[in-house]
Amino acid sequence: MQSLRVELGERAYPIHVGAGILDDSSLYAAELVAGRAAIVTNTVVAPLYLERMRRALAAAKIDVVEIVIADGEQAKDWRTLDGVFDALVAARCDRQTPIIALGGGVVGDLAGFAAAVYQRGVPFVQVPTTLLAQVDSSVGGKTALNHTRGKNMIGAFYQPLLVVSDVATLATLPPRELRAGLAEVIKHGFALDGAFAEWIEANIERLVGGDADALAHAVRRSCELKAAVVAEDERESGRRAVLNFGHTFAHAIETGMGYGKWLHGEAVAAGMVMAAELSARAGLIDERDVQRVRELISRAGLPVAGPAELRLERYLELMAVDKKVAHGQVRFVLLDHIGGAVLCADPGQRLVREAITAAAAAAAATH
């Protein structure tokens, strides 16, 4: 096991990364007082890991309230959240009862938001079981629900007490889910660390193939990179926005297609290609860099263009309600170079249209 900390003063917390650590009762005993905890998980993860989690907590003298929600992005809504609150109230969970998110990004986002607002805030623990959650969504304290008009539009910044990332759980991921998680790994390389981007390029086949050592390194490095950015800008008032490389386009895809049709990582992959195309048109990078982005995403088995049925006008309409909009202008995260992302004011609809069209044309030319 390797551990690192997200340095946020009195809200600092550890991230533990290793194989088989989900069962390590000492990790929970170190942060949680004996008593009770509520585990929020879903119908896919529960049969795999809920009993193991319950036994680990029992060894730490913590009883468990089990709350199982539906699987999928569609569950990240008010109705599901209200069901979680019903279960918490029925079990008489109080302000000292931690909520533990056991699952992927949807479970973490929803359980985290529940923890942020239930009785005005209760302790929260992340136990991510997907690659996407381990490398990205479990770190940094972002919690959210989706709205019919925009992804993650309702939420709060609420930091966990700890994150326990058991990389052995990645062995049970379906290949599509593993590839979707790789999109966020790739994002960290292109947006934050050129050397890490080169490592990913050299090891992408191992990652896609589920090589345990390669995945463990990808999780650790991604957490290190994100933790450093979060420590610098917890509430995304500045630098943290660069972690959204590809996400303005991606959220438009997810909302426009209906939540769950495209996995988040799939949408981010296509979004990164469009963001790279836009970066080139804004004069920040050259075509060779765009090609590097496109080729790595393609090698990861991820889409390099958005869905053909999502029209240009719909992209523009949906991106106009993106959370990075400021003073009526859509701001985009672009690449200044491989390993260096920057937040840019609205480059203009003409360049955005060209970027979306170019990504689609390049994808069509390879088929």
| Average pLDDT value over all residues in the chain | 95
261 catalytic, yes or no? no
- Pick the range with the lowest mean pLDDT from 120-129, 146-155, 173-182: 146-155
20-55 per-position pLDDT tens digit? 999 999 999 999 987 999 999 999 999 999 999 999
Catalytic residue among 16, 220, 221, 240: 240
Catalytic residue among 151, 187, 251, 292: 251
Identity of residue 32 = L
Asked whether the beta carbons of 242 and 337 are under 8 A apart, the reply is no
120 catalytic, yes or no? yes
Rounded to an integer, what distance in angstroms lies between the CA atom of residue 158 and that of residue 22?
A: 22
201 catalytic, yes or no? no
Strands 35-42 and 62-69: parallel
Task: Please name every residue paired with 103 in a beta bridge, in sequence order, or none if there are none.
Answer: 128
61 catalytic, yes or no? no
Rounded to an integer, what distance in angstroms lies between the CA atom of residue 145 and that of residue 75?
A: 9
Over residues 71-81, mean pLDDT? 96
Q: Report DSSP state, residue 77.
A: S
Centre a 10 Å sphere on the Cβ of residue 350 and count the other Cβ atoms it contains: 9
- Is 70 exceeded by the pLDDT of residue 367? no
151 catalytic, yes or no? no
Catalytic residue among 120, 288, 327, 350: 120
Catalytic residue among 42, 146, 152, 244: 244
pTM exceeds 0.85: yes
Rounded to an integer, what distance in angstroms lies between the CA atom of residue 150 and that of residue 318?
A: 7
Rounded to an integer, what distance in angstroms lies between the CA atom of residue 215 and that of residue 44?
A: 22
- The pLDDT of residue 346 is 81
- Tell me how many degrees the CA angle 120-121-124 measures, rounded to the nearest 5: 165
177 catalytic, yes or no? no
- The pLDDT of residue 329 is 79
135-176 per-position pLDDT tens digit? 999 999 999 999 998 899 999 999 999 999 999 999 999 999
Domains defined for the chain, CATH in brackets: 2-172 (3.40.50.1970), 175-365 (1.20.1090.10)
Over residues 247-255, mean pLDDT? 95
Catalytic residue among 151, 179, 188, 247: 247
Catalytic residue among 187, 226, 281, 292: 226
Catalytic residue among 264, 281, 292, 331: 264
Catalytic residue among 236, 254, 266, 277: 236
337 catalytic, yes or no? no
**Residue 282: alpha-carbon gap to chain centroid:** 27
244 catalytic, yes or no? yes
- The pLDDT of residue 44 is 98
- The pLDDT of residue 327 is 60
Catalytic residue among 16, 36, 76, 142: 142
Rounded to an integer, what distance in angstroms lies between the CA atom of residue 43 and that of residue 23?
A: 20
217 catalytic, yes or no? no
**Token output for 179:** 């590839």
- The pLDDT of residue 308 is 92
Rounded to an integer, what distance in angstroms lies between the CA atom of residue 9 and that of residue 222?
A: 21
309-359 per-position pLDDT tens digit? 999 999 999 998 876 776 677 889 999 999 999 999 888 899 999 999 999
76 catalytic, yes or no? no
Catalytic residue among 73, 177, 184, 254: 184
- The pLDDT of residue 171 is 96
